[in-house]
A and B are shown apart, each in its own frame.
Chain A
Amino acid sequence: MLDKLEQALNKIPLSPKDFLDIRHSYSMGESFTVRNGRFDSISNQTMGGIAIRALIDNTWGFTTIVNTDEESIIKAAKKAIRIAKTGSKYTKQERNISDKWVYEGKEITKIEIDPREIDKEAKFEKIIETEKAARHFSDTIAESTSYYQESHKEEVIVNNKGTKVETENHIIRIGKNVIGREGVKMQNVTDSLGGTGGWELIEGWNPEKEGLKAAEEVEKLISARSPPSGKMRVIMDPSLTGVFIHEAFGHATEADSIIAKRSILEGKIGEKVGVEQINVYDDPTIPTLRGSFKYDSEGTKAQKRILVKEGVVNEYLHTLETAETMDLEPNGAGRTMNFNYTPQSRMSNTYVGPGDMSLEEIAEITKDGVYLCKSYSGYVFTDKGQFSFNCQSGYFVENGEITDLMGNVGMTGLILEVLNNSYAIGNKWEPAFKGNCGKGGQWVPVSGGGPNLAVTDVVVGGNS
């Protein structure tokens, strides 16, 4: 495919200032879901096509095709050039892609056990047994679900500056979602295992243990205390720390938001936004995590990004375009969901660096507040700097001790205040959150984590 794309690229008339890239993407995957004892979904998906981007006279043109013959590629490329040229008279900003950053390489995610060679029955068994263990736990369990997903994606990227990159990435995941109900009271517990790699990442999933664990947690949550309301001290577990830093800070460092003047962190490089002990990283190069990759969807080699260094904003997440606009080196954050979309500045594996306190010590200095665990979701308005996220469960912290269990609750805060309000960082580090991040209609796999993190003055939205 690389040769085919190069040959087509060479036949497209371009001037030295123009930029054009061709990205071929092919993915296939399987997903199985068992819900309440029945197979709810058992499916196989393949998706393939070519995306063509042209930057002509400061304006982008973008087209997609599913045919991969040379004639179709050239025709689509000419269309991308034509619509970019048509639009350029309406563009006021200057945009360029530099000749400086050219990448060549081939990277295949290492897999020890290829899931495509594992019998489907073995995959079924893991989710059937997980679901069954949770469902049979008690009458409180209203819905028990377990799922298995694998996807295999190949990308080939060439551009007229000289980049030639081929990648093959494999993602695998097994998970559970258990809902308990007593009258109008409902709680659910969700968790998963997996990442970038093969069957070896989920081989250790013990179905019975995982199913029972979720069911037990749900049962306890049904009769847990109601969460409090108001401004208070919050200790987060590593999973929630991951979601918190992703929403409260990570999105605001995405350089396309900075360029568009839609981020409250615009112009904040070198400014102190947090306590000195806070370090925040985004690193796609860590092997096996859900957000890991070696080259992004623009062909740029991925690298570890230090977003916050000792409380000071250090770096943004760049695409080729944003790096050029800020006269910096691209750091490989241009990601896409599939060939139908253009690259955006995105996070990968985002985490807070470890500190030196145990959870017990943090609870002791917290005195009164809440200790919150795991997350369902979150979102942020980067332009005004307000974020929101929620937890699956938590505990009250009373007189320096972690006490009663409480149900799920949402929180909100302000980006420019929250890292300065951090007062304790735990010594145990874990990339505990595994999920998907949505932006502009594109969902990409990510992970997040860190240590226990304690923040004061967080607004907790309980109903008591």
Chain B
Amino acid sequence: MNSDFSLHDLAEKVIRIGLSKGADQVEAYTLYGAVRGVQIERGSIRRFTDTSNSGIGIRILKNKATGMASTTIFSQESIEKTVSEAVSLAKISPPDTNFISLPSDTTPTPIIPDRCDDNISELSIEDFTELILATIQEAKIREDAIIGGNFSAGKGERYIINSAGVDRFSMQTSVSGFLSTKISEGDDIGSSYHYDAQTTLKKFDYLSIGKLSGERALKMLGAQKIDTTNLPILMDPETTYGTLAPILANGINAFNVFNRTAFFVDKIGDQIGSPKLSVFDDPLYPGGVDSAPFDDEGVVPKKIQLVEEGILQTYITDSYTAPLVELENTGHASRFSFASKPRPSPYSLNFKNGDISKDAILSDLKEGILLIDSSLESSGNRPQISDQINQGFYVKDGEIQYPVKEAVVGCTVYDIFDKIEEVSKETENRSGHIAPWILLSPIRISGGK
């Protein structure tokens, strides 16, 4: 809890002021975070940070028009001014007849296990540093390894109150670490990284961050250019999640569906990918970094099946978009910051595993590319993917031959979903993000050879 003032009292005050100034509905969204951070440069500590941030976002509805204002300054004068600004913007804003109401969900707030850990809140700088130094030691796979990165530990609080009845509070702790390792042999450079984020210290696998970062950097030495050709792509679980999750986040987002820019418009009940693809979203996954007992409008979400054997089951919605796509509010409102308007976004996706081992998939691969901890992303709202291979290996007769450099994958998001050929029985769980290895049938790859 922030010791200087009560964010809850502040939010309540905002509601009162907003209504007194003539608003039809008022919402106050407040965030507070206290974070300690450590920056690593060339294998030792460069900087310690101890920061606390807070902010309030105010949404005012007046005659179906919206005005928003935000501030990080919590003086009486600043709050009054910010509410007035939001009210005056709502008064001059053209009405949006699609808007119905802020949510009024008053169901009890569920309790998510392993969401807060006092060991993180109370972690001393000395203990945190010792942990980081041990991680660096793991990454130091060779004396000349160049190691850099950032670690942070902290807690965040979120209050959402609106005049329609929502009054929610949640708190979460988190610890995260990112380490990158670079190894050189003359002009040949091997570089890689690893990352982990957890809500509890006991699950934070800090040593693996260093170990994998170092080992992968070594494996990236000797990268070669390849020919332009069509090749199957084997994605490790991080690549599966990093590639498929953003496609779904765009493709089934009700705001994009309503605007007809979603990848999967009018596709509920249709086949949108291989029958081997099944995905559900679990907002209440215990200890998940992206889990939450309520969304960014205060609505309690539920676990929902999104794709079943390649068939799209539903879209994800919030209070604004649910009526537009004629679905119930699934509680997926998400804000980029306290100053932003909410939009639907998934929490923790779980991609169902298959029944073949990852080793069998790899050994059966005559020729292809193995992607490690990467993502193939489309830019903007377009379905075209044209993205460089960052951590990829050329595979021949089931054996990894060498890392690949200067190559681009060219396809569409629809290709990625349709070309799922094999799904491994093994999955990896990264704090609630669960994904298997996936083999895609041949895709165009432009090479620098």
Q: Which of A79, A259, A411, A459 contacts B50, CB < 8 Å?
A: A79
Q: Which residue of A lies closest to B449 (CB)?
A: A231
Q: Known contacts A64-B52, A92-B44, A231-B446; can you find 17 more A-B pairs with CB under 8 A?
A: A35-B259, A39-B65, A41-B341, A43-B67, A47-B72, A47-B73, A60-B39, A61-B49, A62-B49, A120-B92, A188-B381, A227-B386, A230-B446, A390-B379, A414-B448, A461-B446, A463-B384
C-alpha gap A379/B126 in the complex (Å): 35
Q: Total number of A-B contacts with CB less than 8 angstroms?
A: 259
Cβ-defined contact, B447 with A142, below 8 A: no
Q: Which residue of A lies closest to B89 (CB)?
A: A42
For the complex, is A206 an interface residue (Cβ under 8 Å from B)?
Answer: no
Cβ-defined contact, A186 with B47, below 8 A: no
Which A residues touch B150, using CB under 8 A? 440
Q: Which residue of A lies closest to B259 (CB)?
A: A143
Cβ-defined contact, A91 with B73, below 8 A: no
C-alpha gap A340/B31 in the complex (Å): 15
For the complex, is B134 an interface residue (Cβ under 8 Å from A)?
Answer: no
C-alpha gap A463/B415 in the complex (Å): 11
For the complex, is B82 an interface residue (Cβ under 8 Å from A)?
Answer: yes
Question: At the interface with chain A, which of B361-369, B403-411, B433-441?
Answer: B403-411
Q: Which of B86, B263, B447 contacts A44, CB < 8 Å?
A: B86
Q: Which residue of B lies closest to A414 (CB)?
A: B406
Q: Which of B53, B55, B448 contacts A64, CB < 8 Å?
A: B53
For the complex, is B171 an interface residue (Cβ under 8 Å from A)?
Answer: no
Q: Which residue of B lies closest to A34 (CB)?
A: B94
Interface flags, A369-406, vs B, CB<8A=1, else 0:
00000001100010111101010000000000000000
Specify which of A46, A187, A262, A457 lies most central, judged by the most chain B CB atoms within 10 Å of its CB.
A46
Cβ-defined contact, A66 with B146, below 8 A: no
Which A residues touch B39, using CB under 8 A? 60
For the complex, is A345 an interface residue (Cβ under 8 Å from B)?
Answer: no
Which A residues touch B67, using CB under 8 A? 42-43
Interface size on B, residues (CB 8 A): 85
Interface flags, B133-153, vs A, CB<8A=1, else 0:
100000000000010101000
Which A residues touch B109, using CB under 8 A? none
Question: At the interface with chain B, which of A82-90, A283-291, A298-306?
Answer: A82-90
Secondary structure at the A interface, as helix, strand, loop or mixed, is strand
Cβ-defined contact, A41 with B68, below 8 A: yes
Q: Which residue of B lies closest to A190 (CB)?
A: B380
A-B contact pairs, 20 of them (CB 8 A): A42-B67, A43-B69, A44-B69, A47-B71, A47-B72, A59-B46, A60-B47, A62-B47, A64-B51, A64-B52, A142-B261, A259-B41, A262-B148, A377-B379, A383-B191, A388-B387, A409-B384, A412-B448, A462-B410, A463-B386
For the complex, is A15 an interface residue (Cβ under 8 Å from B)?
Answer: no
Cβ-defined contact, A381 with B410, below 8 A: no
Q: Which of A411-445 contact B (CB under 8 A)?
A: 411-414, 440
Which B residues touch A74, using CB under 8 A? none
Specify which of A48, A142, A227 lies most central, judged by the most chain B CB atoms within 10 Å of its CB.
A142
C-alpha gap A91/B44 in the complex (Å): 5
Distance in Å: Cβ of B222 to nearest Cβ of chain A? 12
Which A residues touch B263, using CB under 8 A? 184
Specify which of A80, A411, A412, A457 lies most central, judged by the most chain B CB atoms within 10 Å of its CB.
A412
Q: Which of B52, B68, B412 contacts A43, CB < 8 Å?
A: B68
Which B residues touch A35, using CB under 8 A? 259
Which B residues touch A464, using CB under 8 A? 444
Which B residues touch A181, using CB under 8 A? 260-261
For the complex, is B122 an interface residue (Cβ under 8 Å from A)?
Answer: no
Which B residues touch A381, using CB under 8 A? 191, 390
Q: Which residue of B lies closest to A387 (CB)?
A: B388
Given the contacts A229-B410, A260-B148, A46 and B82 also touching, CB distance less than 8 Å: yes
C-alpha gap A90/B386 in the complex (Å): 43
Given the contacts A41-B68, A87-B48, A93-B42, A384 and B189 also touching, CB distance less than 8 Å: yes
Q: Which of B41, B86, B380, B447 contacts A93, CB < 8 Å?
A: B41
Q: Which of A184-221 contact B (CB under 8 A)?
A: 184-188, 190
For the complex, is B173 an interface residue (Cβ under 8 Å from A)?
Answer: no
Q: Which residue of B lies closest to A83 (CB)?
A: B48
For the complex, is A117 an interface residue (Cβ under 8 Å from B)?
Answer: no
Cβ-defined contact, B447 with A231, below 8 A: yes
For the complex, is A350 an interface residue (Cβ under 8 Å from B)?
Answer: no
Q: Which residue of A lies closest to B99 (CB)?
A: A38
Cβ-defined contact, B260 with A143, below 8 A: yes
Q: Which of B42, B69, B445 contacts A45, CB < 8 Å?
A: B69
Q: Which of B341-388 contact A (CB under 8 A)?
A: 341, 379-384, 386-388
Cβ-defined contact, B261 with A261, below 8 A: no
Distance in Å: Cβ of B10 to nearest Cβ of chain A? 13
Interface flags, A171-189, vs B, CB<8A=1, else 0:
0000000010100111110
For the complex, is B43 an interface residue (Cβ under 8 Å from A)?
Answer: yes
Q: Which of B92, B182, B381, B412 contacts A261, CB < 8 Å?
A: B182
Q: Which residue of B lies closest to A339 (CB)?
A: B72
Which A residues touch B182, using CB under 8 A? 261-262, 383-384
Which A residues touch B96, using CB under 8 A? 38-39
C-alpha gap A48/B388 in the complex (Å): 39
For the complex, is B101 an interface residue (Cβ under 8 Å from A)?
Answer: no
Q: Which of B65, B387, B406 contacts A410, CB < 8 Å?
A: B387
Which B residues touch A64, using CB under 8 A? 51-53
Cβ-defined contact, A264 with B71, below 8 A: no
Distance in Å: Cβ of B233 to nearest Cβ of chain A? 13
Q: Which of A62, A86, A411 contacts B125, CB < 8 Å?
A: A86
Q: Which of B42-97 contact A (CB under 8 A)?
A: 42-55, 65-74, 78, 82, 85-86, 89-90, 92-94, 96
Q: Which of A66, A79, A383, A409 contacts B189, CB < 8 Å?
A: A383
Cβ-defined contact, B68 with A42, below 8 A: yes
Q: Which residue of A lies closest to B38 (CB)?
A: A87
Cβ-defined contact, B44 with A90, below 8 A: yes
C-alpha gap A264/B47 in the complex (Å): 24
Cβ-defined contact, A60 with B46, below 8 A: yes
For the complex, is B98 an interface residue (Cβ under 8 Å from A)?
Answer: yes
Cβ-defined contact, A43 with B388, below 8 A: no
Cβ-defined contact, B53 with A383, below 8 A: no
Distance in Å: Cβ of A92 to nearest Cβ of chain B? 4
Cβ-defined contact, A36 with B49, below 8 A: no
Which A residues touch B325, using CB under 8 A? none
Distance in Å: Cβ of B246 to nearest Cβ of chain A? 14
C-alpha gap A381/B446 in the complex (Å): 19
Distance in Å: Cβ of A408 to nearest Cβ of chain B? 6
Which B residues touch A317, using CB under 8 A? none
Cβ-defined contact, A408 with B48, below 8 A: no
For the complex, is B414 an interface residue (Cβ under 8 Å from A)?
Answer: yes
For the complex, is B106 an interface residue (Cβ under 8 Å from A)?
Answer: no
Distance in Å: Cβ of B217 to nearest Cβ of chain A? 10
List 7 A-B pairs, minimum CB-CB distance, nearest first: A461-B408, A410-B386, A60-B47, A43-B68, A388-B388, A463-B410, A92-B44
C-alpha gap A277/B65 in the complex (Å): 56
Which A residues touch B46, using CB under 8 A? 59-60, 91, 93, 95
Cβ-defined contact, B383 with A340, below 8 A: no
Q: Which of A90, A186, A342 contacts B383, CB < 8 Å?
A: A186
For the complex, is B228 an interface residue (Cβ under 8 Å from A)?
Answer: yes
Given the contacts A36-B259, A187-B382, A385 and B412 also touching, CB distance less than 8 Å: no
For the complex, is A73 an interface residue (Cβ under 8 Å from B)?
Answer: no
